[in-house]
Amino acid sequence: MSLHILLVEDDRQLQRQLAAQLSQFGHEVQTADDGREALVLLGQHAFDILILDWMLPHLDGIALLRQLRDNGMNVPVLMLTALGQIPDKLEGFEAGADDYVVKPVDALELNARLHALLRARRVTEQPTDTVSAGDFLVSPSRVLAWRGGQVLNLSRTEFNLLLELVRADGAVVTRAMLIERIWGHDFVPTTNIIDSHVKHLRAKLIQHGHDPIGTVRGIGYQLRA
């Protein structure tokens, strides 16, 4: 999926590198050095997503974001922050940010989050409660999951893991995203805890068909059709 991205970052080196990496993933990237330039570009083009640095000259990221939301601009926003500090994050979410990546930015993590963010936007527009991907059907409210019409017997954690993978619908879900969404933690364990949980989930899923979970080495997991 190719996205039209506006990247607002005052660190020229990081801006160049991120733009190059995102282009490698097939996205079309436009850049701005500060908030004012970003506002001008936002007025001229329709972007799929806005990547916004927190600290910017002239008009900082949060102020820009508030201005956008006040003007009714609904473009999804992913913020880049220096430190993963809780008070900062809360302030950002209140201002209308959709997600975060803490610097230094891992391009693969960023790409995975961009896709997840756009999908989440689309999913919330669906009126139904269930999510589906391939032969999987998951109902978050009833905490039930089916594969090919058969009910799966999963633990709570396994269920949540599957839900995230199904929501991503084939896109990569990183370990950090899983830790954040399943347990709500802002730290990444040093051991392979996520891998262990995935292993247990995989063992249960292959009882009902082929192995549906693909491992993207060094990044995370994705659902294979």
Q: Which residues bind other proteins (CB under 8 A)?
A: 14, 17, 21, 24, 82-83, 85-87, 103-108, 156-157, 183, 185-193, 196-197, 199-200, 217-219
Residue 222 structure tokens: 């994705």
Query: Smallest gap, in angstroms, from Cβ of residue 196 to other proteins?
Result: 3
Rounded alpha-carbon distances, angstroms, from residue 210 to 146, 202, 204, 207, 214: 14, 10, 11, 8, 11
Query: Smallest gap, in angstroms, from Cβ of residue 195 to other proteins?
Result: 9
Residue closer to other proteins by CB (options 156, 210) is: 156
Tell me how far apart the alpha carbons of residues 215 and 111 are, in angstroms, rounded to a whole number: 16
Residue closer to other proteins by CB (options 85, 207) is: 85
Query: Smallest gap, in angstroms, from Cβ of residue 163 to other proteins?
Result: 16
Exposed/middle/buried for residue 72 (C-beta within 10 Å: 0-12, 13-18, 19+): exposed
Helix (H) or strand (E) holding 70: helix 61-70
Residue closer to other proteins by CB (options 24, 150) is: 24
Query: Smallest gap, in angstroms, from Cβ of residue 153 to other proteins?
Result: 17
Residue closer to other proteins by CB (options 123, 188) is: 188
Rounded alpha-carbon distances, angstroms, from residue 123 to 1, 107, 119: 16, 24, 6
Query: Smallest gap, in angstroms, from Cβ of residue 207 to other proteins?
Result: 18
Q: Specify whether the backbone of 159 is left (phi greater than 0), alpha (psi in -120 to 50) or beta.
A: alpha
Residue closer to other proteins by CB (options 197, 208) is: 197
Tell me how far apart the alpha carbons of residues 169 and 165 are, in angstroms, rounded to a whole number: 6
